[in-house]
Amino acid sequence: MRRGPPLSAWLVAAAAAVVLVPRVPERREVRLENNRFQPALVTARAGDTLLFVNGRGGPHNVQFADDSLTDVQHRLIDAAMPDRPRATWSRDVPLAGPLLVLEGDTYRVIVPDLPPGRYRFFCTPHVSGGMRGELVLVP
Ligand SMILES: [Cu+2]
């Protein structure tokens, strides 16, 4: 009987493939509509793009809750959020994206290299109405 390479050789090859093949970043779309984030729970990995798309009932925005972030995490999210004042980093500046006014306006955040976990966000004008969401960052 002809035999192939031993199992250990296959395992080494499989491990090498996992290491060498880069993961293609994915895009997660979240609609801001009817005072809700849809979906409200977004699972993503570092490097993925979160594309927030404004619907009706705006203006809406995206603000990350910062009460349970370390300084490093705060800085990483701060740097990942475009179109914000960022002359000097400060814990006191809220992690709030600009208001999306028109239907179809978008806001793009590339998920920074944060530790896996849950990162809460909300819409500044509608937080009291429960417009909240969560980024579930997986390894
Ligand atoms: Cu809103």
What is the per-residue pLDDT across 38-54, written as a single tens digit (0 to 9) for each?
999 999 999 999 999 99
Distance (angstroms) between ligand 1 centre and the Cα of 24 equals 31
Q: What is the DSSP letter of 71?
A: H
Rounded Cα distance, 55 and 51, in Å: 13
Assign a CATH topology to domain 24-137: Immunoglobulin-like (2.60.40)
In the predicted structure, residue 74 carries a pLDDT above the cut 80: yes
Q: Which residue has the higher pLDDT, 114 or 84?
A: 114
The stretch 50-74 carries a mean pLDDT of: 96
- Tell me how far the alpha carbon of residue 113 lies from the centroid of ligand 1, in angstroms: 26
CB 31 within 8 A of CB 55: yes
Question: What is the Å distance from ligand 1's center to 111 Cα?
Answer: 21
Tell me, in angstroms, the distance from the centre of ligand 1 to residue 98's CA: 11
Report how far ligand 1's centroid is from the alpha carbon of 21 (Å). Answer: 39
Tell me, in angstroms, the distance from the centre of ligand 1 to residue 125's CA.
5
Q: What is the mean pLDDT of the chain?
A: 91
pLDDT at 48: 98
pLDDT in tens, 3-60: 666 767 766 666 666 667 788 999 999 999 999 999 999 999 999 999 999 998 889 9
- CA 81 to ligand 1 center in whole angstroms: 17
> How many whole angstroms from 71 Cα to the centroid of ligand 1?
27
Question: 104 pLDDT exceeds 60?
Answer: yes
Tell me how far the alpha carbon of residue 50 lies from the centroid of ligand 1, in angstroms: 17
DSSP string, 8-57: HHHHHHHHHHHHHSPPPP-EEEEEEETTEEESSEEEE-TT-EEEEEE-SS
Q: How far is the CA of 17 from the centre of ligand 1 (A)?
A: 43
